[in-house]
Amino acid sequence: MKKWLLMVMLVLVPAMASATEVKYGNGFQIINDDETFKLKVTGRFQPRFEYTRKETGVRNVGTFKVRRADVNFKATIHKILSLGLGLKHSTNSKNFSTLNIAGGTMTYQAYPEFGVTVGMVGLPLDILTETSSSWYLLPEPGITATQSDDATPFTTTRDSFSVPDGLGVNIAGDISKFFYSLSVVNGAESNYAPNPGMKFSTGARMGVNILGAVGGSMSDFEQSSDPQLTVSIGGMYQGRRTDDAFATARNEAMGVSNSVAPDLKYIATGSGGVALRYAGFALTSEAYFRNTKFSSFGNIPVQLQRSSLSDFGYYAALGYYLLPKMLEAALQAGQIFRQGPDNNANQIGGGLNWYIFDNNLKIQLAYTWTQDYDDIVGTANNNVHNVVLQVHTMF
């Protein structure tokens, strides 16, 4: 921690000393005399209390959590070169249970039509990926981005339709009403691990702002006087990999230690979505399709072996301000249909958002009900009830 604080001070102190202007606008901004250098600092803290009731396993859990605590820095040099870096913590997160770097990127954007970013770029796919988590309608996005298939001894493990991380390169730009984004990242699909070989994953997204861009928010906080409508399509290709989670699950279920994992030839995912914002009303909806191709089946039961598996999912999120810029009601629903046994999921939920000081301080109360079929072997399902009370603060 001390090392991180020292690094931050080394960056901030010289900038403040030579700056002629320090102002606030969605973050603190430090600008030099001739405006060739700008440093923007933002921060966020999201504590919550979460209650979960299940029909299997640990049935009742109530816990305090820190969903996100982060500080982000963005330096812009001569208006065409920008450097981004963040420090982030999140309770129970695999990568952020302890403080870690996030969003480390460098971008060269000489023209709006073409920009190049290197670093922690991940893969583009959908509208949700471009949405700031500070502007989710509920504390968490829909099931298509959050529900991962638990490992079972019957079929390969398939994730939600969320996009993977990855170190690599991205090119993106806006051409009139059209926009595009293309990325190539390491096959490790991690922001913290090198490539295991010559394997890479790719992703692309393109779309059109038909009636104006909806931006990075799922809410219409600004009460748009004119409709904003965006549609987009996207795709990802993830190369060869071995599903070691299957072998682990089979070892535990069968009481053995020599289970053979299946090998996947590729995973191909497509998406299509629409987003509308107007007069305090917000709609975001997307659908996904995925094909998982096998190169070998390992110990998957013969009767369940298929050359490929097809999955489908969708979500819809609606928001409306009962009191403009103060009280917002939200609904969110989604489903995932994974080919194979015991792995579908259904979810519906709703909540209220109370904006106390714009989006710098708000309170979110939400309830979701989830039918999770991969928790129980057979045709039964696990009904999961979740209530979240979250305070969102940011500068």
Residue-by-residue DSSP string for 128-148: GGGS-GGG-SSSS--HHHH-P
Per-residue pLDDT tens over the stretch 114-143: 999 999 999 999 999 999 999 999 999 999
pLDDT of residue 8: 52
The residue type found at 47 is P
CA–CA separation, 265 vs 257, rounded Å? 25
Q: Percentage of residues in the chain with pLDDT exceeding 70?
A: 91
Residue 2 pLDDT: 45
Residue with tokens 């979460």: 50
SS3 99: coil
Mean pLDDT of 265-281: 97
> Mean pLDDT throughout 155-172?
90
Does 58 score more than 80 pLDDT?
A: no
Alpha helices in 178-327 (DSSP H): 244-254
CA distances from 133 to 137, 173, 340, 392 (A): 9, 22, 32, 10
What would the mean pLDDT of 82-104 be, rounded to a whole number?
A: 91
Q: Is the pLDDT of residue 379 over 80?
A: no
174/206 Cα distance (integer angstroms): 10
Instruction: From 300, 374, 305, 304, select the one nearest 336 (Cα to Cα).
Output: 374
Residue with the larger pLDDT of the pair 299 and 367: 367
**What's the predicted TM-score (pTM) here?**
0.89
Domains of the chain: 112-353 (2.40.160.10)
Calculate mean pLDDT across residues 95-120: 94
Average pLDDT over residues 301-305: 81
- Mean of pLDDT values over 203-214: 96
- Give the pair of three-digit tokens for residue 56: 């299997």
